[in-house]
Structure 1
Amino acid sequence: MLTVLAYLMVGVFMAAIMTNRLSALIALIVIPIAFAAMAGFTTQIPDMAIDGLKTIVPTAVLMLFAILYFGLMIDVGLFDPLVRFVVRICHGDPVRVIVGSAILAMVVSLDGDGSTTYMICITAMMPLHRRLGINPMILPAVTMLPNSILNIAPWGGPTVRVMSSLKLSPSEVFVPLAPTVFITCLAALSIAYYLGLTERRRLGLVDIVKGGSAPKAGSDELEDVPVRAVVDRPVWLQRFNLALTVSLMAVLVLDIMPLALLFMLAFAIALTVNFPKVRDQRARIDAHSSNVMNVVSVIFAAGVFTGVLSGTGMTDALAKSVIYIIPDGGGRFLPLMTAFLSMPFTFFLSNDAFYFGVVPVLAKAAQSYGIGADVIARASLLGQPVHQLSPLVGALYVLIGLSKVELGAHQRFSLKWSVLLCAVMFVSAGITGAVPWF
């Protein structure tokens, strides 16, 4: 009976999320409590929920201060010099423009938020792409592909969800994947270079100095959609912000300090140095409070979901049923199976439904074969390039809206490149040992 209720709960949860009957926040709270009550655990539900919340606190703190930090860096114009540099070195060469667009997206994607990346990159590069006559499908593609890779950063949505559902730390999930992320980023740049070559053959080079279809680099036509209205920022402050961010990334990779504390400290330093006045500090925090609340509230709700799922024994029941249907000798391929399943599952399901409803079951089943939850967690992240094309991804509508392309056309153009990046991830993760093939 517990197994049946467990499957029903996962099914109802997925259906509620996919059909927009309930938001992720409400579904993560209400559905597990309702099914736990049906299973006869009414009196134990509060303790289960609190136990789940305790395990989720570090992840929630990490997300809170990571969003605040990168939001502040965008506010103070940390990425503006890079945008201007990319525009100025592109000249009239489609290869430079397209590869430059991909590099810009790669850097801005470090904030872990797809919507922010799309807003900055599309508004910065769209005028140049249009005036050169570049295929309008290319800019959204080369912006989305790097973002889909760096979306698995420790503060990115998918990684936060899988860490929350499996109670893992960033050092267990992301650090072993770092070489894979680097290799796949190179693959994304290679795709951008190939697309640039095809456009160069079609369009040729445009002399933007003597005139032509493109404006001069740095002209008003390229500056009319600024990324941020940053005025009179001292040079020393820009250098300080860059040094602080580089140091933050270095310490993050070295894993010498808990990430939650690391981002708390970095944000406190950055906010104090950039905005010494308390009223200005409050204004910056208020400006990003909406994004913070939307993300962190879901993380806390996930603590209730995982706490109840584990406390009632439903996780064990689901895992045993999955083990039962795995053919003899097939269990050792669970990491590879999880990696392949992550493509269609994250396309047709939201990240919430997949990482809170499916991955815990796979991880529990893998334990019976001596496969750690961290391996399954990393494998489940390898389908993110395809997930970014899912109509369930809200940021996708920001991308196509700014790019002025149709959703179906964008999916048809980008899908093959997304699948190629997934293949690169599978192979590189297997070679580096982050996700053993068997």
Structure 2
Amino acid sequence: MTAFIGFAMLFIIMYLLMRNKMMPIVIFVTIPVVAALALGNSFAEIGEMVNGGLGSVWKTAVLFIFSTSYFGIMNDAGMFDPIVDGLIKYAKGNVILITVASAIVAVLGHLDGATATTVLVTIPAMMPLYKRMKLSPYTLLLIVGCSMGVMNLVPWGGPIVRVASVMEMDVTELWHMLLPFQGACLAAVMVIAVICGVIEKKKGAGQFSAEEIQEMAETKMDDAAAALKRPKLFLFNIMLTLILIICLCLSVMPTHVCFMIAFGIGITVNYPGLKEQQARFKAHASESLNMSATLLAAAVFIGVMQNSGMLDAMVEVLLAVIPHAMGRYMNLIAGFVSVPVGAVLGADTFYYGVFPLLGEAGAAFGVPQLDVGVAMLVGKNVGMIVSPLQPTTYLACGLAGVEVAAHLRKNFGKAWLISIALCVIALLMGVMHIY
């Protein structure tokens, strides 16, 4: 019964999110509470579950508010204008160069292994260019997600550390096994970026009619927007942003604290007056608070799922329904289902909860635990950007200015397909095996 209620809750939430039937805030707050009550939990117990979920996301909620506001005032001040103009001049309208550049920036931005840093570096830098060239923001999210997934295989990345710790294996040794595959995946990401660019170009990105070109040439910035520009502070804003990124990469302070301080400095220097500061904050507060509220509401779902016993029961049911004859393909099954299963379980639960169970089940059929772990690493990583349990998903969507539900509808299937393709590459390279 516990597993049934868990699956029912999951299905209803995913259906409502995908169909855009209600606000995500309402969905995440109400459905899990009803499910928890159906399991016989008291309101006090549900409160403890929710507190547990909130404990894992409140810092990211604060990060949403100040990171969105920071990049908002930098955009108001015109920091991105010379960068976008320069990229447009260099790319000369070549959409494929822009999508490949997005992948390169995301790969470099993820060298520290932190997903929040990657989206905070890549999306604000590329979105103005995407808007100018009529590129879809969902394409940028997909490219960033693939880039982060491949770079997450570095030895300081969260997923590989989790798998190595479960197996009590040296993480560097595991990385050395995956290093040739990671190189092939980096090449695959660039190919994916090229394909995305070709598709976007066919949809009309980077192509302007004579009327549109004339209109852009004649269009003048309205007085209100022009009054916000701070061209004399361009170098200061660039330096402040670079220092911020360095602090993020070196983990000088918690990410949300870095943005709080940078926001305070940035808004004070660019808009020193009280009324100006209030106006700038209010201009960006709606978007940032909406995404923060959605994440805090998602904490209800996370807390109930992880602390009510639903998750364990659901995993047991999944293991029970696997046919005995399929046991020797446990690693292949794990790789194939990693995106959908990982999307609804979260990274810690996926690697610390599901991996040991699948690893033991695979061992019973002669499949080494290492093979199952590698398959789960290969399969899941590119799917983290389409997980409603990942705070980074909400952060990325907020920075790109899109709804999470729309992002899931457009990119979930693509991410899953790419994941399967990477599993095939892993098989061909001998990283995954058939027993």
Bigger shift: residues 420-429 or 328-337: 420-429
Q: Supply the AA of the counterpart residue of 1:355.
A: A
**Superposed displacement of residue 77, structure 1:** 1.4
Counterpart Cα distance in 2 of 1:80 and 1:243: 15
Counterpart Cα distance in 1 of 2:218 and 2:97: 16
Aligned pair partner of 1:308 in 300, 304, 313: 304
Q: Does residue 1:366 correspond to 2:355, yes or no?
A: yes
Aligned pair partner of 1:125 in 130, 133, 136: 133
Q: Supply the AA of the counterpart residue of 1:278.
A: L
**How is 1:43-122 mapped onto 2 (pairs within 5 angstroms)?**
43-89=44-90, 96-99=93-96, 101-102=98-99, 110-111=119-120, 120-121=128-129
Distance 1:100 1:152, change over 3 A: closer
Distance 1:30 1:82, change over 3 A: same
SS of residue in 1 equivalent to 2:57: helix
**Superposed displacement of residue 320, structure 1:** 1.6
- Deviations along 1:264-304, one digit per CA (max 9) or x if unpaired, are 22222222222222222221111111111211111111211
Alignment-derived partner of residue 382 in structure 1: 382
Counterpart Cα distance in 1 of 2:276 and 2:211: 38
Bigger shift: residues 309-318 or 254-263: 254-263
Distance 1:147 1:376, change over 3 A: same
Asked if the contact 2:100/2:190 (under 8 Å) is kept, the reply is no
**Superposed displacement of residue 359, structure 1:** 7.1
Aligned pair partner of 2:158 in 157, 163, 172: 172
Distance 1:361 1:77, change over 3 A: same
**Superposed displacement of residue 420, structure 1:** 8.7
Aligned pair partner of 1:278 in 263, 274, 280: 274
Asked if the contact 1:28/1:302 (under 8 Å) is kept, the reply is yes
**Superposed displacement of residue 386, structure 1:** 9.2
Counterpart Cα distance in 2 of 1:189 and 1:2: 42
Q: Supply the AA of the counterpart residue of 1:12.
A: I
**Superposed displacement of residue 87, structure 1:** 3.8
Alignment-derived partner of residue 145 in structure 1: 139
Distance 1:194 1:48, change over 3 A: closer
Distance 1:79 1:103, change over 3 A: farther
Counterpart Cα distance in 1 of 2:191 and 2:427: 16
Counterpart Cα distance in 1 of 2:11 and 2:261: 41
- Deviations along 1:193-233, one digit per CA (max 9) or x if unpaired, are 8789999xxxxxxxxxxxxx86999x873462769934485
Distance 1:82 1:115, change over 3 A: closer
**How is 1:287-298 mapped onto 2 (pairs within 5 angstroms)?**
287-298=283-294
Counterpart Cα distance in 1 of 2:201 and 2:21: 46
Asked if the contact 2:355/2:373 (under 8 Å) is kept, the reply is yes
Alignment-derived partner of residue 224 in structure 1: 219
Q: Supply the AA of the counterpart residue of 2:343.
A: Y
Counterpart Cα distance in 1 of 2:51 and 2:189: 39
Aligned pair partner of 1:355 in 326, 343, 365: 343
Q: Does residue 1:15 correspond to 2:51, yes or no?
A: no
Q: Does residue 1:299 correspond to 2:313, yes or no?
A: no
SS of residue in 2 equivalent to 1:40: coil
Q: Supply the AA of the counterpart residue of 1:149.
A: I
Distance 1:196 1:225, change over 3 A: farther
**Superposed displacement of residue 151, structure 1:** 5.3
Alignment-derived partner of residue 348 in structure 1: none
Alignment-derived partner of residue 210 in structure 1: none
SS of residue in 1 equivalent to 2:94: helix
Name the structure where helix makes up a greater proportion of residues. Answer: 2
**Superposed displacement of residue 40, structure 1:** 0.9
**How is 1:242-253 mapped onto 2 (pairs within 5 angstroms)?**
242-253=238-249
Q: Name stretches of at least 5 consecutive residues in structure 2 with no aligned partner.
A: 107-117, 150-155, 162-174, 204-208, 360-368, 388-395
Asked if the contact 2:61/2:295 (under 8 Å) is kept, the reply is yes
Distance 1:104 1:123, change over 3 A: farther
Q: Name stretches of at least 5 consecutive residues in structure 1 with no aligned partner.
A: 127-138, 159-169, 200-212, 346-353, 388-392, 400-406
Counterpart Cα distance in 2 of 1:222 and 1:426: 48
Alignment-derived partner of residue 131 in structure 1: none
Distance 1:255 1:123, change over 3 A: closer
Counterpart Cα distance in 1 of 2:201 and 2:22: 46
Asked if the contact 1:123/1:225 (under 8 Å) is kept, the reply is no
Q: Does residue 1:32 correspond to 2:32, yes or no?
A: yes
- Deviations along 1:331-377, one digit per CA (max 9) or x if unpaired, are 445663345x45xx9xxxxxxxx834687874432232378999968
Asked if the contact 1:98/1:196 (under 8 Å) is kept, the reply is yes
SS of residue in 2 equivalent to 1:382: helix
Asked if the contact 1:13/1:31 (under 8 Å) is kept, the reply is yes
Distance 1:358 1:103, change over 3 A: closer
Counterpart Cα distance in 2 of 1:193 and 1:19: 28
Q: Supply the AA of the counterpart residue of 1:150.
A: V
Asked if the contact 1:52/1:307 (under 8 Å) is kept, the reply is yes
SS of residue in 1 equivalent to 2:78: coil
SS of residue in 2 equivalent to 1:257: coil
Counterpart Cα distance in 1 of 2:190 and 2:311: 38
SS of residue in 2 equivalent to 1:229: helix
Asked if the contact 1:49/1:304 (under 8 Å) is kept, the reply is yes
CA RMSD of aligned residues (A): 5.2
Bigger shift: residues 262-271 or 294-303: 262-271
Counterpart Cα distance in 1 of 2:194 and 2:328: 38
Asked if the contact 1:32/1:308 (under 8 Å) is kept, the reply is yes
Counterpart Cα distance in 1 of 2:425 and 2:71: 29
Distance 1:244 1:116, change over 3 A: closer
Distance 1:294 1:308, change over 3 A: same
Counterpart Cα distance in 1 of 2:45 and 2:412: 46
Distance 1:153 1:300, change over 3 A: farther
**Superposed displacement of residue 258, structure 1:** 2.1
How many residues were matched structurally?
359
